[in-house]
Amino acid sequence: YDLAYLVELMHTASLIHDDVIDFSTTRRGVLSINAIWQNKTAVIFGDYIFSKSLNIAIKNNYKDYLNIISKTIEKMSEGEIFQIEYFNKMNINKYIYEKIIFKKTAIMIGACCEGGARSINKKKKII
């Protein structure tokens, strides 16, 4: 269950950061962290949650998962940067849109699948 907990923490942290970046005041109809405690606190809280997920991986000696986590956070950050770059451009094509959603959303789902697969089979070729 530690892997599921780790991924959920990572996902929650990414949503907190996303709300700050997008100036969102609500998430699923509830006030966002940044709306309640302002951006500085929300960013630090998101970082804290990210670090908790890393600590779970370290504590349990999940070296494979540390690699998955770091790659996932890197790609999600790239997706956010890419979205910011194209934010004011009204002519976003399908390729750009798919690149953004792949890096911001699909990569997280892929991390969950890869982590689950690695928990039962260590052979990277199979995964």
Q: Is residue 126 part of a domain?
A: no
What are 93-126's pLDDT values in tens digits? 899 889 989 998 999 999 988 888 888 876 767 6
**Domain region containing 102:** 2-120
Q: pTM to 2 decimals?
A: 0.84
Contact 111, 72 (CB under 8 A): yes
Q: Is residue 95 part of a domain?
A: yes
Query: CATH number of the domain that 82 lies in?
Result: 1.10.600.10
What are 45-86's pLDDT values in tens digits? 999 999 999 998 899 888 888 888 889 999 999 999 988 888
Number of domains the chain is built from? 1
b/e for 59-71, b at 16 or more Cβ within 10 A?
eeebebbeebbee
